[in-house]
Structure formats: structure tokens, C-alpha cells
Chains A and B, each alone.
Chain A
Amino acid sequence: MAFWALVKRDITLAWAQGGAGGLSLAFFMIATSLFPFAVGPDSEFLMRLAPGVIWVVALLAGLISLDRLFQADFEDGSLDMLALSPLSLEMTAFAKTLAHWFSVMLPLVILSPLLGLMLAMPVASLGWLLLSLLIGSPALSLIGSIGAALTVAVRRGGVLIALIILPLYIPVLIFGAGSLLAISAGTDPLPHLALSGAVSLFALFISPFASAAALRLGLE
């Protein structure tokens, strides 16, 4: 019960006034729209660029919301309260990560076909874009939560999170965006998606433990 109550709490907070959900979504739209201004509106070129651009910007949009994942609760004392809950710290970290995915990543995933259209992606591959993000994005939240937990007590830890998490995002990006490149090259995207899912599962396995260990340090 406490687990789902916590997931619900964090989703509500993310979509309350000044929460991470809306901000990340807005960032996702604006940052993606910058690319045509930078590289020109040639639809042929944009189409080739689109999967990579959308994946990288979705990754960054998730990243900018991560530094408050635990820190907001750490600063106002709520994390102490949550640490005293009947849930283990592992489950607490996992619940908050799950909420991050639901409130920040999932809206990005749902919006991504629209941005794909704007970047001249063929309609047939929009479904694949959605699917690749759906399978890959849990890894972004899960790995990101480790970085958020490690920097929980660091003031202005945002840059530090980026530094320690971005290298770990590389496999997620390779397999996720790779599936779309495979489609445009006319090859089978499924191996990419399978590997992407494997990375998400692996992240699911290590993230709660690493995050909880890091949070314990922060709480001391």
C-alpha cells in the first residue's frame, strides 16, 4: 500500500504547480524544434536526423528533471519520513523512480510521434519511434535514479548528475535510436529493441540497490 501511495504522491507532485512533468515536456518540444533552425528545413535531411534528435532530446529532457528526484524530498525533510516508512529504502527508491517514468518519461514518449511528424519522419515509422522510446526509456529513469541518489546532498548537483549518468546512457541510446536507423536502412529493428529491453531489465535489477545505498549515505 505504501508503495503505490508513494508512486501516486510523486506523480501528483510532478504534475503540481512547478513540477517536473510539465517543464520536461515543454523542454522536449522546444529543444526538438530548435534543430530545424540550426540545420535547415530540408525535409530529406531532417528525416534522417529525426530519430537521433528525438532520442537525444528525450534523454536530456529526462535528465534535467532528475536532479530533483530525491533532492526536493531531501531538502524539506520528507526523505527522512520516507526512510522511516515500512518500505525498504530500495522499494522507496524504486517507487520514486517508477513515478519519474510515469510522470516525466511517459508523456515524452506519448508526445514523440508528433515531434517525429514535425521532423518529417514517415508516418509508418512513428509507431516504431514510440515503441523504441517505450522500451528504452525505463532504463533512462532507472540509471538516472542512481545519479540522482548519489548527488542528493550535493547543492546544484545537476551538472554532476549529467557528468556521471550520460556515459551510462550510451547503450540505451545506441539500441533505442539504432532500431529506428535499422528501419530507415530497411533492416530488422527487432534485435535492437530486444537489446534495448535487456538494458532496461538490467537497469531494473541494479538501480534500486545502488540508489538505496547512495540514499543511505545522503541521509546520514
Chain B
Amino acid sequence: MQRFANPARFNHLADRIMPWSNAVAIIAFMLGGYYSLFDSPADYQQSETVRIMYVHVPAAWMSMLCYMIVAAASFTGLVWKHPLAFLTAKAAAPIGAGLTALALFTGAVWGQPTWGTWWEWDARMTSVLVLFFLYLGYMAMWETIEDHDKASRASSILALVGVVNIPIIKFSVEWWNTVHQGASVLRVGGPSIHEDMMLPLLLMVLAFHAYLISLVLKRVKLELTRRKIMVLRQSLFARKGR
């Protein structure tokens, strides 16, 4: 564990990974984008709108994955007192929030022609919405505590409390949804995935993953630089104040 605690080693490692993840992301996005827009069948029920799925589904998956990264990094930080872990958690959260917002947005755009409504209180959409709230709370925690050290630990405690609550929230939302099934307007099962839809979907999922890796590494590097500037400033003031 401690091997990666060294920022120099991390920077070195990140510099070696990032060209690859960047390349994979760009190629997969281009190929996946082409297939999903031009070379995949339209759904016989949903016609062309089914193409929203190629963004919506990866975004929804990644939104959850990102929270797991935040929680795992927070746990690592709290247990092994690992400064880079806190920074990773901090770096991943806004990306996760962005992906969650994207999943909600594409869900709404997809829902309009499919269900005839912009927002449907169905179990999955509602869970994603709650996840978005959890991200907001986590990021607000970082923002409001000035001391970097305390902010990192406080928001990590919050991330862990959030992650143990996620299964309960998911269960309760699903329960709530089945109980109120009668009240909902219209219910369409998820589109059965045609074989020809699998390839573009997988490409897009790959692209999102690679993009996530690049973005997290970049943001951690950025955060390290920011810390470095802060430390240099502090030592400057310490010398001047003498």
C-alpha cells in the first residue's frame, strides 16, 4: 500500500497509464459512437430513441461504480492514513456526480418518448436520483471544512456511512415502487437487447471506463499540484512570519 503513497511515484505511474487510457477512450468513443448512431438497429417499439441507451446505460453503471471508488478510497484513507487515497476519493466524486446527472438527464430524455413523461418515479431512476444527492452531500462536506486534513476524514466518514446505506436505500425504493405499482402511469419493460446492440454498448462501456481512469488520474495529479502550491505558500509564510 505504502508504495503508492509517494506522490512522485504516483505521478510517474499516472504518466505511464494515462496515454493508454486516453487512447482507449478516444478510439472506443469513436467506434462506439459510430456503431451506436449509424450501424445498429432501431428498436421496433422505441425506434431511434433507443440510441440514447448507449449513453444512458454506461453512465448509470458508472455512477454507481464511481461511488464505490469514492467509498473504497475513503476506507483506505481512514484505515491506512493514506493521503493519496483521500485525494482519489475527492477526485472521483465530481466525476461520479456528473455521470449521475448525465444518467438522470438521458433517462428523462429517453423517458419522454417512451413513457410519455419526462420523469417517472420508477425504482431505478429514483435510486440514481438519491445517489446524486449522496454525491452532493459528499462534495459539500469537502467544500465547507477548510482544514484539508479534517475535510478529508470527515467526508470519508460520510462516504462510508453512505455506502452502507446504499443497499438499504435501494431496497426501500424498490419496495416503495412495488407497493405503489398500481399508481404508476405506464410501465414498459427494459428493451430486450438485440445482439447487434451489444457491440456498440460494450464499446461505449469500455470508453466510459477508460475515460474515467484518465479523468481520475488527471484530477489527482491536479490536486497534488494544488497541495504542493499550498505547502510552498505555507513554508513561505512560516519563514516570513519569523
Binding site for B on A (CB under 8 A): 146, 150-151, 153-154, 157, 160, 163-168, 170-171, 174-175, 178, 181-182, 195, 199, 202, 206, 210, 213-214, 217, 220
Contacts and interface: CB of A to CB of B under 8 A. Distances in A.
Interface of B: 130, 133-134, 136-138, 140-141, 144-145, 150, 153-154, 157-158, 160-162, 164-165, 168-169, 171-173, 175-176, 179-180
Contacts of B150: 153, 217, 220
23 contacts: A146-B158, A150-B157, A153-B150, A157-B144, A163-B137, A164-B137, A164-B138, A165-B137, A166-B133, A167-B134, A168-B161, A168-B169, A170-B169, A170-B172, A171-B165, A171-B172, A195-B172, A202-B168, A210-B160, A213-B157, A214-B154, A217-B154, A217-B157
Contacts of B171: 171
A163 B91 CA distance: 20
Contacts of B168: 171, 199, 202
A181 B179 CA distance: 9
Say whether chain A's binding surface is mostly helix, strand, loop, or mixed.
Answer: helix
Given A170-B173, A175-B175, 8 more contacts: A153-B145, A157-B144, A164-B141, A168-B161, A168-B162, A174-B175, A182-B179, A210-B161
B144 A160 contact: yes
Contact of B172 (A153, A165, A174, A214): A174
Interface centre among B141, B161, B165 (most CB of A within 10 A): B161
B179 A164 contact: no
Contacts of A181: 179-180
A154 B145 contact: yes
A205 B113 CA distance: 45
A160 B139 CA distance: 10
Nearest to B151: A217
A49 B162 CA distance: 30
Contacts of A165: 137
A167 B154 contact: no
Contacts of B164: 206
Nearest to B140: A163
Candidate in A165, A174, A181 with the most chain B CB atoms within 10 angstroms: A174
A150 B158 contact: yes
A200 B200 CA distance: 45
A148 to B, nearest CB: 12
Q: Most chain-B CB neighbours within 10 Å: which of A160, A163, A214? A: A163
A170 B130 contact: yes
B133 A167 contact: yes
A164 B180 CA distance: 27
A167 B144 contact: no
Contacts of A174: 172-173, 175-176
Query: Chain A CB within 10 Å — which of B144, B169, B171 has the most?
Result: B144
Contact of A154 (B144, B162, B179): B144
Nearest to B137: A164
A139 B144 CA distance: 26
A166 B158 CA distance: 13
Contacts of B161: 146, 168, 206, 210
Contacts of B138: 164
Given A167-B133, A217-B154, A178 B176 contact: yes
Q: Lowest 8 A-B CB distances belong to which pairs?
A: A164-B137, A171-B172, A167-B133, A174-B172, A174-B176, A163-B137, A171-B168, A163-B140
